[in-house]
Amino acid sequence: MSQAAAAAAEPLSARTPSASLRNKVMAASAIGTTVEWYDFLLYGTAAALVFGKVFFPRSDPLTGTMFAFSTYAVGFMARPIGGIVFGHFGDRIGRKKLLMLSMLIMGAATFLIGVLPTFDQVGLLAPALLIALRLAQGFGLGGQWGGAILMSAEYGDARRRGLWTAFTQAGGGLGNFLATAVLAVLAATLSQADFLAWGWRIPFLLSVVLIAIGVWVRVSLAETPVFEAALEKAEDGAHAAPVLETLRRMPWRVVLGGALKLGENISFYCMTAFAITYVTEMLHLSRSVALNGVLAGAAVATVSMPLWGALSDRIGRRPVYAFGAAGVAIWAFAFYPLLDTRSPAVIIAAVVVGLLVHSAMNGPQGAVISELFPTRIRYSGASLCYQVTSIVGGSWAPIISLALYKEFRSTLPISIYIAAVCGVSFVAVLLARETKGLTFAEIDAEET
């Protein structure tokens, strides 16, 4: 019997992916996540700098920005719907097909934002179209995270799952870096008039190139052996309704995973999207100062996430995640006073430290959440934890921060807000069990 035939005859549960295949999957997951988060986070930066002026020009600056962030929040509202739909089919027919579809939806929506007419050209139709495309972005991203993380987690080995999934998480940091970098270059080289007239469109149109790259690296991937083995072993095949099965059997784990996500999610958008608004609108500094701070922070976050993930493989998920939650809660009270110095170097340092500590939550997060659920409902469970939180998390964080500042004319309430939600995540860490080193077979066996 040939080697290929022998491999085909071998039970799926016994097959171990080769090192080269694992590396290919990790690279593809990271690149694909980079592309999709570039699309999604580009909107947040543009909302802080452009959309209030282009799509809501008849409001005062802060109110226009609040309207822009409201359309930004719509994308988060659509993410749980995407998570439910993609999670359902991802647990029934596999991870790969759904990943490809989510990427195409995201890419098409982002490109079309780049060609939208402005309020001055078509009136209220402009923000209406913007909202529709933001909904499409959110729907696509809702399915992306769970699939990408599970490709990494289920192809990786238990000893280094924190590191493998952290590379996928780092793709989000790299996407933020690329989105901010393109806007930073345009803001530095174009006049304010040109930037508002047409320059802001360029990063959205460039997404079509990134989507082509993402599709190319993902198209040759095979389904994860862990998922196929679970279906092979199950007597009744895939769950007919995996989302409902998750909520019926493990509601507490969905709540726990959402609480773990809450502090990480809100603090990130307060230290990026809202920070850009604060520096440009309240402190009246240049767009370049704000963008350079987020650019430096995104670079540090991208590099540090795999390191935090690897550390969680050594000392455990809980201590690393707890450090991140407590650290960001404390740093929140220094963050805005440091921005108030109006020193570009100090502003960069404030964002860098904030996102570095924040990455102690973001880096191991993929491993932590994926290890909460057995294989047959993992896509649904992970997507529910990650995406439902966005409704009360990142979607409203910039809007709540702006409202707090308008009401109190102080950043102290915003710092308290960040510390409170990070406190929720810290308590969730204390309630969670340690899952470092557990194989998915062991996790699945516990649920049977």
Q: What gap in Å lies between CA 396 and CA 390, rounded to an integer?
A: 8
60 vs 53: CA distance, rounded Å? 9
Question: Exposed/middle/buried for 438, CB within 10 Å: 0-12, 13-18, 19+?
Answer: middle
Rounded Cα distance, 101 and 34, in Å: 16
Which domains are assigned to the chain?
A: 19-446 (1.20.1250.20)
Q: What pLDDT does residue 15 have?
A: 54
CA distance 32 to 38: 10
- Measured distance CA(375)–CA(242) in Å, rounded: 11
- Kindly write down the DSSP assignment for every residue of 23-90, as one continuous string: HHHHHHHHHHHHHHHHHHHHHHHHIIIIIHHHT-TTS-HHHHHHHHHHHHHHHHHHHHHHHHHHHHHH
| Alpha helix stretches (DSSP H) within 316-377 | 317-339, 344-370
Residues of the chain with pLDDT under 70: 1-18, 58-66, 68-69, 72, 93-95, 220-223, 230-240, 447-448
Q: Which helix (DSSP H) or strand (DSSP E) does residue 104 occupy?
A: helix 96-113
pLDDT at position 31: 78
Q: How far apart are CA 359 and CA 272, in angstroms?
A: 13
Question: Quick one: CA dihedral 312, 315, 319, 325, positive or negative?
Answer: negative
Q: Can you give the pTM of this predicted structure?
A: 0.81
- Burial (Cβ within 10 Å: 0-12, 13-18, ≥19) of residue 18: exposed
pLDDT of residue 8: 36
Structure confidence at residue 94 (pLDDT): 66
Residue 245's Cβ-count burial label (10 Å; 0-12, 13-18, 19+) is middle
Close Cβ partners of 214 (under 8 Å, ≥ 6 residues apart): 31, 32, 34, 35, 36, 103, 107
Would you say how long the chain is, in residues? 448
